[in-house]
Structure 1
Amino acid sequence: MKIALHGRPLKEAAIPCVQHIFSELKRRGVSVQVYEPFGHFVTRLGIAPEDFSVFNRPEQITDVDFFFSIGGDGTLLETLTFVGDRQIPILGINAGRLGFLAGTLCSDIDIALNQLFAGEYRYDDRTLLHLDANRELFGGVNFALNEFTITKRDTSSMIVVNTYIDGEYLNSYWADGLIVATPTGSTGYSLSCGGPLVMPDSGNFIISPVSPHNLNVRPMIVSDNSVLSFQIEGRSKNFLVSLDSRSKVVDATIKLTVRKEHFKARLIKLAGQNFLHTLRAKLNWGLDSRN
């Protein structure tokens, strides 16, 4: 078996967790491939496995059975950029803060590894969105798990995002920006802008304006079979376009189209992990002293 590991430099409290993961994988005879900067980090700490290969680019990852993302949700989003359309199953290990997607706690790592090697898990396939533009923006990594956003670049005046669904005019959003979120992203930026929570398998996109000037404009749920297109106007010459945590500066000549990606993100769901429990545990959803 071969497992790839992606991570960022971690806080001191998470180091024993990483060391334990390496020890367990060695004990089980697993071949390990590590993201090179993370490999340098664990080597400096003296906890790196004795024999491991490294990767820096997706094409360097070969014959991998599972992908471990060690960190928080941001690390897991980065992990997806290496996995791409190969749909390598990803286990998110929470060595960060909130860990909404990276749901396996370091304290549960032995349980998680036992379930993984015993095959006691299932796949949680999550819809991704795909961005097309009239020029190259993200080096071919044109997909996102959480959201696509258009925002003003600085503290200048609001922008206007002319929005179309399947070629039909929807609205011109006068706002600080606009978010198109997947169901997975409904718990992120979209939620903070008043968007609804959506179940992961609901088959929808959420269009949420950021600080809209029109008070009668509210978030809207559309089918993820829709094709959404955008044209941007504003006094500023430059705007910011983002896919998850990756962003690029564009100007008003950009033409943008968002649709459902043809492949999905394949997350590993272990026993006892489910979306509703995560809502209550991570977001204190429905917290009420009467309950």
Structure 2
Amino acid sequence: MKVAIYGQYYQNSTEPIIKDIFIFFNKNNVEMVIDLSFLKTLYEKGIIQKEYKTFSSHSELDSSFDMFISIGGDGTILRAATLVRKSGIPILGINAGRLGFLASVQKDNIAAFLQFIIEKKYTISPRTLLSLSSKSKIEGLKDINFAMNEITVSRKDTTSMITIETHLNGEYLNSYWADGLIVATPTGSTGYSMSCGGPILTPEVKSLVITPIAPHNLNARPLVIPDKTEIQLKVSGREEHCLVSLDSRIASIKNESVLIIKKTSFKINMVEIHEETFLKTLRNKLLWGEDKRN
């Protein structure tokens, strides 16, 4: 078995996790190829001494890899998706953070869950992504023009609201007068969109969510639409620029820019272990069913 390993280092939370992972994989003769910058950190911290093969870009990841291991929180997995891209390599998230919906393996059960991986006792959950395009030049996004969670437009250099004129498949929907607008995938429905009052979608739902951020017109509600819909946004405001974000990547766009958002032709494959399903994660993270009387 051959795995790519990528992660973030936090001394108090990830060091024991990293050691457990390396011990387990070495014991089971799993070939590990480590992200170059992550490996340098591990050497500097004295966590490992052995030499490993490395990768530093998405072009070095191919079908010879059985899995991509992400160590950190949900943000780490979103960055991992920019490395995996169209390769189809399944991503397994090992949670070193707190409230996470993507990282399915918890730090208390690493060895047991990694044994499931060795024995191939897991399923693949394909996740929809969104692409962004515009006739206007968007500085800072380069070739990573897709998002796994959401694409968001928001105000930049002002406290004044912006107007987001929205069309769906060419038909006018609404002009949102708000701090911004979120277009979320089912994966992203438990992120920023949920914090702004949007609904939760299960990962297999073929839908997207449009959620306004602090709308001035209070009758503007989150809207669920088919994921094959092409969304056109025209953003205007008092300042010369607004912000657009693709997950954690942020860029500045000129006022009156027109953005096109639609589903990508490829998906990201997330590993789901039977003992840690999406519904179980919802119950645990959102404390559903908890009752102080009990």
Q: TM-score, length-normalised on structure 2?
A: 0.95
Secondary structure in 2 matching 1:239: strand
Amino acid corresponding to residue 25 of structure 2 in structure 1: L
**Partner of residue 103, structure 1:** 104
Gaps of 5+ in 1: none
- In structure 2, relative to structure 1, the CA distance for the partners of 1:113 and 1:147 (3 Å cut) is same
Amino acid corresponding to residue 97 of structure 2 in structure 1: G
Contact 2:138 2:253 (8 Å CA) reproduced: no
- In structure 2, relative to structure 1, the CA distance for the partners of 1:11 and 1:46 (3 Å cut) is closer
Amino acid corresponding to residue 57 of structure 1 in structure 2: S
Contact 2:233 2:258 (8 Å CA) reproduced: yes
Q: Which residue of 179, 186, 210 maps to 1:176?
A: 179
Q: Which residue of 252, 271, 291 maps to 1:249?
A: 252
Gaps of 5+ in 2: none
**Partner of residue 12, structure 2:** 12
**Partner of residue 121, structure 1:** 122
Amino acid corresponding to residue 269 of structure 1 in structure 2: E
**Partner of residue 269, structure 2:** 266
Q: Which residue of 193, 196, 199 maps to 2:199?
A: 196
Secondary structure in 1 matching 2:113: helix
Amino acid corresponding to residue 193 of structure 1 in structure 2: C
1:149 maps onto 2:152 in alignment: yes
Amino acid corresponding to residue 70 of structure 2 in structure 1: S
**Partner of residue 221, structure 1:** 224
Amino acid corresponding to residue 95 of structure 2 in structure 1: N
Taking the aligned partners of 1:49 and 1:21, their CA distance within structure 2 comes to 15
**Partner of residue 82, structure 2:** 81
Contact 2:157 2:241 (8 Å CA) reproduced: no
Taking the aligned partners of 2:280 and 2:12, their CA distance within structure 1 comes to 28
1:66 maps onto 2:67 in alignment: yes
Taking the aligned partners of 1:11 and 1:98, their CA distance within structure 2 comes to 18
1:118-170, Cα deviation, whole Å (9 max, x unpaired): 11111011111111122355221111111100000144210000000001111
Contact 1:26 1:49 (8 Å CA) reproduced: no
Q: TM-score, length-normalised on structure 1?
A: 0.95
Report the more deviating stretch, 171-180 or 274-283. 274-283
1:46 maps onto 2:49 in alignment: no
**Partner of residue 93, structure 2:** 92
Q: Which residue of 211, 214, 220 maps to 2:214?
A: 211
1:35 maps onto 2:35 in alignment: yes
**Deviation of the 1:283 alpha carbon:** 1.6
Taking the aligned partners of 2:134 and 2:289, their CA distance within structure 1 comes to 40
Taking the aligned partners of 1:286 and 1:175, their CA distance within structure 2 comes to 34
**Partner of residue 131, structure 2:** 130
Taking the aligned partners of 1:275 and 1:106, their CA distance within structure 2 comes to 17
Report the more deviating stretch, 245-254 or 157-166. 245-254
Taking the aligned partners of 1:160 and 1:136, their CA distance within structure 2 comes to 19
- In structure 2, relative to structure 1, the CA distance for the partners of 1:83 and 1:223 (3 Å cut) is same
Contact 1:23 1:49 (8 Å CA) reproduced: no
Taking the aligned partners of 2:14 and 2:8, their CA distance within structure 1 comes to 11
Contact 2:164 2:233 (8 Å CA) reproduced: yes
Contact 1:3 1:33 (8 Å CA) reproduced: yes
Amino acid corresponding to residue 200 of structure 1 in structure 2: P
Taking the aligned partners of 1:242 and 1:286, their CA distance within structure 2 comes to 34
Amino acid corresponding to residue 197 of structure 1 in structure 2: I
